Amino acid sequence: MGKVTRVLLLVMIILFVSYHQTFAAHQSDRSYYEEKGDVVWEVKTKHKMVALTFDDGPDIRYTNTILDLLAEHNASATFFVVGNRVEEAPEVAKRIIKEGNEIANHTNTHPNLSTLSQSELDKEIKDAEQAIFNVTGARPNLFRPPLGLYNDEIVHNIRENDYIAVMWSWHQDTYDWRNPGVEAIVNKVLKNITNGDIILFHDYGGDRSQTVKALAIILPELQKKGYQFVTVSELLKEDKKFQVPLMDIQEKNEKK
């Protein structure tokens, strides 16, 4: 091996190691975020409480039907809404709040956040927050990144905007967006249910009739087992590390 070749090989190795060290520095594992209280997947609690969450809406048809079911069973849920869809369905967004549910930020246009610059990410969060506020008068405290994609930069930006990042329990991803069948959605939830679960559904993005039908089964079945359906913010009160950064709607409005 010639001297030039060895030098080039050494440079390539250094660049390779440097790249992976840099990449790793931006990809902390789940436990790191959980311990800091920056991201939540589920909450440890002795109480039979779970949080139903719905992504990507609001949708005039399916969100309204889901709200009907929640009201029928005296259940609360958290809706991670997209800003431009709030503007398209303002009455549905208002109803979410009016009926005691929680509205949360899911960006303004539902992009892949890992492809955005920090200024673009910041704009997505702020534009969605403003759209929600303009329609409902509420400024949410919770944020869920589209597709569940995150890294250190994304989490940092979320926290800088006074949000807690909310994911979902890995064993409670219903994959309802795939339309796997009502039975599959029901079984996913009922067979894996644990105190403090954050359960993922979708109320927008195509035919969500399977989600609605599954929910009509899940709600009474879990209530029979003694489970209470609460908002994510209510669930977070079960863990002290989430109590300090959480602000209520009035406090956040005053800050803005």
Which tens digits make up the pLDDT trace of 140-184? 999 999 999 999 999 999 999 999 999 999 999 999 999 999 999
Which tens digits make up the pLDDT trace of 35-66? 888 899 999 999 999 999 999 999 999 999 99
CATH code given to domain 37-255: 3.20.20.370
Which tens digits make up the pLDDT trace of 189-223? 999 999 999 999 999 999 999 999 999 999 999 99
Question: Given its phi and psi angles, is residue 226 left (phi above 0), alpha (psi -120 to 50 degrees) or beta?
Answer: left
Residues 38, 55, 59, 176: which is the catalytic one? 55
Of all helices (H) and strands (E), which one includes residue 214? helix 209-224
Ordered by start, the domain boundaries in the chain are 1-28, 37-255
Residues 239, 240, 242, 244: what is their CA dihedral angle, to the nearest 10 degrees? 160
- Convert 39-73 to b/e letters by CB count within 10 Å (16 or more is b): bbbbbebeeebbbbbbbbbbbeebbbbbbebbeeb
Look up tokens 């009502």; give the residue. 182
Residues 56, 106, 202, 203: which is the catalytic one? 202
Decide if 55 is catalytic.
Answer: yes
